[in-house]
């Protein structure tokens, strides 16, 4: 087993033993309860509402989990001094950080998949609709979750848990409104503002690219070329964040 996989496995194990799966159980119960309440009011569009509500809810919960678990990721290691014994082993600092990223992504992705399976089961069994249409949207959300996790790891490599959570949440929120920012910059009438908003637009992650929930809730599958493009963009974006995080973490003094 490589050091990255070993660190990742330990990160997952820690999260699992903190009983984060209970979040998925609570989500499942809430989903079933909500579908029972909303279906009679939906006037024939019950599957659409359940799909929309279920996929958005699972994405939000997984994102919140990645931010809350990840914001203390490195801080806890330094505060409890567990990192000293680990970093004295023959591993690179970058390997440690990538292992932490991998473990956090795997944990939040596992939770997302668990919750998504519940949505698919409800759509398939409860409404007799084809649940596999949802897979494209779930895949895109998994990639988005990778970007969120990379943001958390990036901020936690140099700042406190509180600021990490704040910056990561702000980055995710801004990433969902990147197109609006560009639009407002163009409408502002100032050339400087337009340039500034354009720069910020290109720096921010284009998270709307990963939102195909509207499409699948109408029973339309996500085109493979969109998944391919979004995956390429997502991997490049999170890769750049991780390179920056590793460079910062590598220079950090473990006093």
| Strand, helix or coil for residue 2 | coil
- Phi then psi for 74, rounded to 5 degrees? -90, -35
- Token pair, residue 152, equals 């958390």
Decide: is 163 part of the binding site for other proteins (CB under 8 A).
no
Answer for which of 40, 43, 80, 225 binds other proteins (CB under 8 A) is 80
Minimum CB distance to other proteins, residue 7 (Å) = 8
Task: Please identify, using beta-carbon distances, which residue of 17 and 128 lies nearer to other proteins.
Answer: 17
Answer for which of 25, 29, 84, 247 binds other proteins (CB under 8 A) is 84
Task: Please identify, using beta-carbon distances, which residue of 30 and 83 lies nearer to other proteins.
Answer: 83
Radius of gyration of the chain (CA): 20
CA 177 – CA 184 distance, rounded (Å): 11
Question: Judged by CB under 8 A, which stretch of 80-88, 108-116, 139-147, 228-236 contacts other proteins?
Answer: 80-88
Looking up tokens 């759509």 gives 123
Is 132 in contact with 220 (CB distance < 8 Å)? no
Decide: is 52 part of the binding site for other proteins (CB under 8 A).
no
Minimum CB distance to other proteins, residue 112 (Å) = 22
Residues that bind other proteins (CB under 8 A): 1-3, 5-7, 10, 13-14, 17-18, 80-82, 84-92, 253-255
């Amino acid at each position: 087993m490589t050091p990255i996989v070993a660190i990742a496995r330990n990160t997952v194990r820690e999260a699992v033993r903190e009983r984060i799966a209970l979040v998925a159980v609570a989500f499942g119960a809430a989903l079933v309860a909500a579908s029972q309440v909303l279906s009679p009011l939906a006037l024939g569009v019950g599957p659409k509402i359940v799909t929309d509500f279920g996929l958005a809810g699972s994405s939000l919960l997984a994102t919140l989990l990645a931010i809350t678990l990840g914001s203390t990721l490195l801080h806890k290691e330094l505060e409890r001094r567990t990192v000293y014994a680990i970093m004295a082993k023959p591993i690179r600092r970058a390997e440690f950080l990538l292992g932490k990223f991998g473990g956090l992504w795997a944990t939040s992705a596992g939770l997302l998949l668990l919750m998504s399976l519940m949505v698919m089961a409800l759509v398939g069994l409860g409404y007799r609709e084809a649940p596999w249409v949802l897979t494209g949207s779930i895949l895109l959300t998994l990639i988005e979750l990778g970007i969120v996790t990379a943001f958390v790891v990036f901020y936690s490599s140099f700042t406190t848990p509180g600021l990490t959570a704040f910056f990561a949440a702000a980055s995710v929120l801004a990433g969902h409104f990147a197109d609006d920012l560009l639009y407002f910059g163009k409408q502002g009438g100032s050339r400087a503002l337009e340039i500034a908003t354009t720069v910020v637009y290109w720096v921010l992650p284009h998270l709307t690219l990963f939102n195909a929930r509207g499409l699948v809730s109408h029973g339309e599958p996500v085109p493979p070329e969109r998944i391919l493009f979004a995956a390429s963009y997502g991997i490049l974006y999170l890769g750049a964040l991780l390179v920056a995080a590793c460079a910062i973490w590598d220079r950090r003094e473990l006093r």
